């Protein structure tokens, strides 16, 4: 895509990274920016520095001009080598409005819940709109964690490499979820219920509803119809796994995960041994994955 047309966006001042919003979304962008600033400070304290991103909080009209990802509202980080914002090489993009995609995710999980699970989900979010108005904001922390993976030579991350330095996509995503869970546990514990309630429901989705479910097939999920929902199903299970790991090893475990698994050239055995060293619970996640 070409350079981002910043003249269609509002620059929000006062943050230690450039922040742009669609007109009308300024207040929401500020809230996102504040969480992003807290998260970057927390992550940097544990993992060391990461590249500064430019952040975009945009409506459906501006979305295609900011990112090539066709799923409106799915927060993500991506390379930005077009000189759009000074000499910054990364962008973090999220939706300013609740996306239809997130309602689909909610409906997918909801269908498979028993009455008790449905009551929990209703209590946490109200309804699909309530869910899609609050849950994606938490994923911003997960996306910022991905920035740290690029720190060891972002040029090689250019293009389609789905695993972004880690040896498998799920290893990368589990890292980002461990960072997300740890950040919320330490900095915003009142948000843990918002994170976990929908994720708990992912364990109830039957095999017949998931055309792929092996960990190593996570990168294939977007190939399928309803693929973005399937991708989130993987993420939700990984978030619950991240919870188990975080509760045992905390920030030391996050740091050692980052230091030992941030290499693309690891065999399956290397990965399992590294996980075992971080904590047996991390390896158990792989062994007990519901394939």
Instruction: Tell me which residues touch Zn ion (CB under 5 A).
Output: 173, 176
Which residue minimizes CB distance to Zn ion?
176
Cβ 67 to Zn ion shortest distance, Å: 15
Cβ 203 to Zn ion shortest distance, Å: 20
- Assign 3-class secondary structure to the chain: CCCCCHHHCEEECCCCCCEEECCCCHHHHHHHHHHHHHHHHHHHHHHCCCCCCEEEEECCCCHHHHCCCCCCCCCEEEECCCCCCCCCCEEEEEECCCCHHHHHHHHHHHCCCCHHHHHHHHHHHCCHHHHHHHHHHHHHHHHHHHHHHHHHCHHHHCCCCCCCCCCCHHHHHHHHHHHHHHHHHHHCHHHHHHHHHHHHHHCCCCHHHCCCCCHHHHHHHHHCCCHHHHHHHHHHHHHHHHHHHHHHHHHHHHHHHHHHHCCCCCCHHHHHHHHHHHCHHHHHHHHCCCC
Cβ 208 to Zn ion shortest distance, Å: 26
**Nearer Cβ to Zn ion (121/176):** 176
Cβ 251 to Zn ion shortest distance, Å: 19
What is the rounded CA–CA span in Å between residue 199 and residue 205?
11
Cβ 152 to Zn ion shortest distance, Å: 17
| CA triple 115-118-123, angle to 5 deg | 125
Distance from the Cα of residue 90 to its chain's centroid: 15
**Nearer Cβ to Zn ion (140/176):** 176
Cβ 142 to Zn ion shortest distance, Å: 5
**Nearer Cβ to Zn ion (176/215):** 176
Cβ 173 to Zn ion shortest distance, Å: 5
**Nearer Cβ to Zn ion (109/232):** 232
Cβ 93 to Zn ion shortest distance, Å: 13
User: At a CB cut-off of 8 Å and minimum separation 6, what does 255 contact?
Assistant: 46, 47
Rounded to the nearest 10 degrees, the angle between the axes of helix 169-187 and helix 192-202 is: 140
């Amino acid at each position: 895509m070409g350079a981002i047309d910043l003249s269609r966006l509002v620059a929000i001042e006062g943050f230690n990274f450039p922040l742009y919003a669609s007109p009308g979304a300024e207040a929401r962008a500020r809230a996102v920016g504040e969480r992003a600033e807290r998260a970057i400070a927390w992550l940097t304290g544990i993992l060391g520095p990461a590249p500064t991103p430019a952040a975009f909080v945009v409506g459906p009209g501006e979305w295609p001009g900011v990112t090539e990802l066709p799923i409106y509202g799915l927060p993500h980080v991506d390379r930005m080598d077009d000189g759009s914002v000074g000499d910054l090489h990364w962008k973090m993009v999220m939706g300013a409005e609740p996306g239809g995609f997130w309602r689909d995710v909610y409906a997918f999980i909801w269908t498979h819940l028993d009455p008790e699970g449905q009551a929990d989900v209703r209590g946490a979010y109200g309804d699909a709109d309530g869910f899609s108005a609050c849950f994606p904001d938490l994923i911003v922390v997960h996306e910022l964690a991905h920035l740290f993976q690029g720190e060891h030579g972002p040029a090689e991350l250019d293009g389609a490499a789905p695993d972004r330095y880690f040896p498998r996509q799920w290893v990368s995503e589990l890292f980002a979820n461990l960072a997300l869970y740890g950040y919320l546990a330490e900095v915003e514990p009142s948000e843990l219920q918002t994170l976990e309630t929908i994720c708990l429901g992912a364990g109830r989705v039957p095999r017949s509803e998931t055309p792929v479910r092996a960990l190593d097939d996570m990168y294939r999920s977007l190939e399928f119809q309803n693929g973005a929902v399937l991708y989130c199903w993987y993420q939700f299970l990984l978030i619950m796994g991240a919870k188990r790991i975080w509760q045992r090893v905390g920030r030391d475990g996050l740091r050692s995960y980052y230091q030992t698994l941030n290499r693309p050239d690891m065999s399956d055995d290397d990965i399992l041994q590294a996980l075992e060293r971080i904590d047996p619970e991390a390896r158990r996640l792989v062994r007990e994955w519901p394939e």
